[in-house]
Amino acid sequence: MTVENLLVFLLIGAIAGWLAGLIVSGFGFGLFGNIVVGIVGAFIAGALFPALGFTIGGGILAAIIHATIGAIILLVLIRVIKRA
């Protein structure tokens, strides 16, 4: 993985985590936390979507949408666990 790929990966994670934090209100974790949530969300979506037969497409916008949906799933799970 090159430095450019790593920076793009972190940027997509940050954007996805930030968007997910806005959509699932009340769950912002700061810049570093949002990056982590976005990256973990991308992994969740990467594992879940192919199993369900759901595809978005290619490109950076599709990657951001993909990671954001996964991050939303992660934040909702965190919310459910915190309430239990």
Determine the straight-line distance between the first and last CA of the chain, rounded to whole angstroms: 40
Provide the domain limits for residue 23.
Answer: 3-83
- In this prediction, residues 52-75 reach a mean pLDDT of 85
pLDDT digits (tens, 9 = 90+) for 18-62: 888 888 876 567 777 777 888 888 888 888 888 888 877 788 888
How many domains is the chain partitioned into structurally? Answer: 1
Answer yes or no: is pLDDT of 4 > 80: yes
Q: What is the pLDDT of residue 28?
A: 63
Map tokens 């239990």 to a residue.
84
**Higher pLDDT among residues 31 and 14, named by residue:** 14
